[in-house]
Chains A and B, each alone.
Chain A
Amino acid sequence: MATTARQKVGWGTANTVAIFLALVPLLWIVSLSFKDPATITDATFWPKKWTWENYRGIFKTSEFTRALINSIGIALISTLIAVVLASMAAYAVARLSFPGKGLLIGMSLLIAMFPAISLVTPLFNIERTLHLFDTWPALIIPYVAFGLPLGIYTLSAFFREIPWELEKAAKMDGATPFQAFTRVIAPLAAPGMFTTAILVFIFCWNDFLFAISLTSTTNSRTVPAAIAFFTGSSQFTAPTGSIAAAAVVITIPIIVFVLFFQRRIVAGLTSGAVKG
């Protein structure tokens, strides 16, 4: 199909507008994070005076660093648990026929569809009763629960693409079921597991709703929630600069992930969407 010059211009304009709309808020946050606190409200897009003051400020107190540790720890543990459980479940979904398979897939889809906000109040009460409130497990448990459907769907699509005969061949070659899984199936499914891990990690990392509702102190408060508790230098100054700096800091890992693993993420999302 030949593209005419007109089409090229049309698409070019549309793309530019879309990218512009997506990038402006991001650039704005970056710009804010580099502004001197005194010039925050000077109504210019780019800072007149560049400063690292905001970044220095957020790393000075333990409030942000502690939240960063919580974020990293909780997201990594949740991802690990979710991917291990999801890979087993997905393997079963892709390979075995067992009673209740349809129900399992339906349930996991149901969980993925469930509006998270409706679960916040019951979870809050349950966790308080169980003395889980404001601990790492308080967040890990719901994160795993919401990460699992995503993982099962993505991974089962990957497992389904691995020919069953490979496993039979491994069995004939003398492998135990465990050896067949670890030496033949898992290496082939590694891209899938990796993609799933990235997707689940991003979900945990970005979550605000559970983080703000199920934590109350720096014990387990993650960065998105901690940012909301930032205070200005005095009671009457808004901590705009600090918030912007913190937002930039937690966005960086995600941007790095996405840039490096773009293809994998897209492959994972589409394989889940089309064949899941």
Chain B
Amino acid sequence: MAEIVLDEVTKRYPDGALAVDKISLDIADGEFVILVGPSGCGKSTTLNMIAGLEDISEGELRIGGKVVNNMAPKDRDIAMVFQSYALYPHMTVRENMAFALKLAKTPKEIIDQKVGEAARVLELEPHLDRKPANLSGGQRQRVAMGRAIVRDPAAFLMDEPLSNLDAKLRVQMRTQVSRLQKRLGTTTVYVTHDQTEAMTLGDRVAVMRNGLLQQVGTPQELYERPRNLFVAGFIGSPSMNFLPATIEDGKLRTRLADLPLTDQLRRTVGGATGRDVIIGIRPESFEDASLVTPENRPNGVTFHASIDVVESMGSDVFVYFTLEGKQDVSSAELDELARDSGMADVGASADQVVARLDAATQVREGDNAELWADTRKIHVFDPANGSNLSLATPDSAAAAGSLTDS
């Protein structure tokens, strides 16, 4: 058991490429922290640096209070679960799990006892004498977990451990990983590109982009108070809708409607008139206007939109529509999000809006429906640097974040 502290940890490759840029992160003892971001954001490199599989160019890494920058992986007392599981194909399940203990010259009785215990927890007992090649994907994944837990390490590192499983099994294993971590109470750093996994598993989630840490916080905090455009677009499924807007005459002029400026916005943008901004609104913040209670109505605005597509999920209905306007939103962060989600590949237009409506809605494809949007939940972003203008200053946001952590 140990806490892991990253203090301005940086990874620079010999060719000058900067993979990880001054990441500072305090991971408390027993905490489950997720590193999430699109591919190439440096999350795996960060994990490999914690593991000791890659050198740290600058900064300091402490595990359990000890600086481990120059320590070999075997001396760091951490176990890792790999995306490919990396089971030793020539060893049985039992030998795979016992390998680390054998290398550490643990007495045989203790090895047997620990392997037996891990096998029981992971329901691998009937498979102990089989080779990995004869196991199913889910079983292999459990062996990989077993190999990590038999060692009672100070910390677990997991590199996309569920991404090789099919969708259904992934959801089951997700719960199992979560239960296992709670039970063992071992500090865990988990890397994934899947925001659902990040949101459901983590005590805290660290969102990365281009080697930079964007925001660290509880899943709820990232969802409700994203610090910038990237975090806002990355967290949440379906993702947040972004629309261009202008601040004019003390109002926020959007394609939905003209909105009054909140006090917070008034403070951050001042009296600047004609300033372009990007507004973000989550699909969940929309509702079919006919289903909104009269007392709730004043909290939002109603508008008309012609519905392109209706997808009924049973519990909810997703509707897609486009709001006519003179220009699309564009920013480097949104471009990257589009690339990551594959939006750029399918050629979906950026100004398409998704709304998540109650299942009771009568909206049909082709309708010019009246929708309601909750204006309390609209975020306003600065197109230049992506920062969230509707939030309090970063300092007070961080303070609020640390309050919710404890």
- A: which residues have CB within 8 A of B? 163, 165-166, 168-176, 179, 183-184, 187-188
Contacts and interface: CB of A to CB of B under 8 A. Distances in A.
A174 B74 contact: yes
B84 A163 contact: yes
A165 B82 contact: yes
A163 B86 CA distance: 8
21 contacts: A165-B86, A166-B86, A168-B80, A168-B82, A169-B82, A169-B86, A171-B52, A171-B53, A171-B72, A172-B53, A172-B74, A173-B74, A173-B100, A173-B103, A174-B74, A174-B100, A174-B104, A176-B74, A184-B88, A187-B90, A188-B90
A168 B89 contact: no
Contacts of A174: 73-74, 100, 103-104
Contacts of B82: 165, 168-169
Contacts of A187: 90
B73 A171 contact: yes
A174 B151 CA distance: 10
Interface residues on B, range: 20 to 34
Interface string B53-76: 100000000000000000011100
Nearest to A166: B86
Contacts of B90: 187-188
A172 B79 contact: yes
Interface in B87-126: 87-90, 99-100, 103-104
A188 B89 contact: yes
B103 A172 contact: no
B78 interface: yes
Contacts of B227: none
Nearest to A190: B90
Contacts of B337: none
A168 B157 CA distance: 13
Contacts of A166: 86, 88
B235 interface: no
A187 B73 CA distance: 22
A237 B36 CA distance: 86
B92 to A, nearest CB: 13
B51 interface: yes
A229 to B, nearest CB: 48
B84 A168 contact: no
Nearest 9 CB-CB pairings of A with B: A173-B100, A169-B86, A174-B74, A165-B86, A172-B80, A174-B103, A171-B73, A165-B82, A187-B90
Contacts of A172: 51, 53, 73-74, 78-80, 100
A176 B51 CA distance: 15
A163 B53 CA distance: 15
A179 B86 contact: no
Contacts of A175: 74, 103
A36 to B, nearest CB: 55
Nearest to B159: A165
Contacts of B151: 173
Residue of A169, A183, A187 with highest tally of chain B CB at under 10 A: A169
B253 interface: no
A170 B89 CA distance: 12
B147 interface: yes
A183 B100 CA distance: 12
Given A174-B74, A175-B74, A168 B86 contact: yes
Contacts of B83: 165
A165 B82 CA distance: 7
Contacts of A184: 88
Interface in B123-177: 147, 151
Contacts of B87: 169
Contacts of B73: 171-172, 174
A176 B73 CA distance: 9
B155 to A, nearest CB: 11
A220 to B, nearest CB: 40
Contacts of B72: 171
A37 B355 CA distance: 99
A165 B88 CA distance: 10
B80 A169 contact: yes
A185 to B, nearest CB: 10
Contacts of B103: 173-175, 179
